[in-house]
Structure 1
Amino acid sequence: MRAVAFKEVGGPEVLRLVELAEPEPGPGEVLVRVAYAGVNYGEVQHRLGDFGAPDGETVTGLEVSGTVVALGAGVTAPAVGAEVAAYLPDRGGYAEYVSAPASFVFPLGDLGLDLRTAGAAPLVLTTAYGVLAGAGRIAAGDTVLVHAAAGGVGSAAAQLARSLGAAAVYGTVSTGEKAEYARRFGYDEVFLRDGFADAVREATAGRGVDLVLDPVGGATRLESFEALAPFGRVVVYGEAGGHPDLSLPVLPVWKNNRVLAGYNIGDLSRRDPEALRRHTLAALGRVASGAVRIDITAEYDLADAAEAQRLLEAGRNIGKAVLRVRG
């Protein structure tokens, strides 16, 4: 089968189109013939070595859509021939075939999703929902601030926050072009990231927001605490800015009634897979109902995966990109 793999960590140039043996589904797994694979920052981190050194030809890719072609031992559903979306905790999606845990494979028949849209859904939608409802404990009437508002998770998070009862949703971005794009998804206001805390306090009459979603890190993370209302929560779910880890003093947390939380989909897949499945089903249900729209802004051939990652790593992306693996 064709796959995009890497044997050493480095820049996008280490990704190469190769021929590999087709995988076989193990116990509890489903073999999927891939139609589309989502492009995500976690795959950039994989290629950079953040999750360890590669072991031979290593295939990344955390979410796909496609058709079930075989079932492993102990698996009875979905049926062979069913069109599905799948989250891949062990990666492997940049390939023509991939084995996925049956718990994280979701039939598309009742959802009204086409394969192209579904290929962009399992990771970003689940992350956005999990950050809001799981780690963030969003409640009706909350106000929300989303960093990286023009990205795949950010554009979904604004819509999901509304569907979960948020009273107001604000976003931050790095450029005016991204601000214009993000406004399509229902943000009340979108701010440039520099000096955003002052802008948030002004927009909320000095109160601040109840919930901040932060995949950026660094100075943005520190400033986020200054934008919180009493009992406000900062939820960390990424390090897209590539900044060193922070050392946070505890005294300002309790003295200012602040909360820090985290969301990591990989950890959840290992320690509470049922919670992860619930998050995905709830998020997909909102797409099926029309409450949430996934905006795919770029489509690449599988062989062009390096270019897709180059733009994402450079922060030049808006919306969501997918790889077309099978037409």
Structure 2
Amino acid sequence: MRSKLFVPAARPELFAKALASAADALSFDLEDSVTPERKSEARQTLHDWLVALPAEYRSATPPKQLIVRVNAIDTPYFEADIAAVVQRGVALINLPKPERADDVHFAAECIERAERANGVDSVDGTHMPVRLLLNVESPTALQNAAALASAHPRVAGLQLGLGDLFEPLGIARRETSAISQAMFTLRMAAGVAGVFAYDSAFANIRDEAGFRAEAQLARAMGFLGKSCIHPSQIALANDVFRPSDDEIAHAVRVLEASRTASRDGVGAYVVDGKMIDVPFLERARALVTDAQRMGLLNDAQRDVLAAA
């Protein structure tokens, strides 16, 4: 999920265009992009569209991940949102403004009820079909991020909301030191629970260099991808979060060398002048998995992995 494109739920004329885009995921928004007087209309529109989704989006490997950002749990819209949009084909509910584990528990309970009511079954019989992507966008949420990430098995990831986090505190949105600290804190919290970390939106659509720089920082911090508020940002995110050819080649060599090391009973070994042990091997495996999913391996690399 290198790129996640926001799609206002009140703009159904954009839905087909979003599906046809190069974004890895679509996040249909019932929160900030929808005015209070249009909440009910947007919710119904999105519900009807989700119910009519093509079968390919209800499979274990859909063409795109479908996400819905609902309204916060302390609004009068939350429970109606969940009841309407927890449908087959929706992978994640993006929950804004949770601050404590109890918030996550309540959201998970509501999702479970909606799954039963809407006949949403596990794709493979073991995994919960609809999981949670939690927005971390307040000082309290950032302080409690590890507890939020660990609060419930439905939590799949944490997403940084820098605008909401910084603006009330008077922190400049482009202050790199502040961004770095927030990213690092969120990534460590996600690591505690074994969930992914996802980057914030970047509001200046015209500033491609700024978007790319922030995305590169997020990737260096181990984030999975970046939110996009405009289709023009999709290609930038996909490029930054794509494993490079050099990274793929090195990872394949690490896996190839691990086969020999395992056979010889060697716990640490050198590849491309770098000492490799278990953490580096795990990273190489994860990178190769991503490259396979994106179709980036060449024939020789596939042969090496088949032999390994």
Q: TM over 0.5: same fold? A: no
Of structures 1 and 2, the larger Rg is shown by 2
Higher relative contact order (CA 8 A, sep 6+): 1
Q: What is the TM-score of this pair, normalised by structure 2?
A: 0.30
Taking structure 1 as the reference length, what is the TM-score of the superposition?
A: 0.28
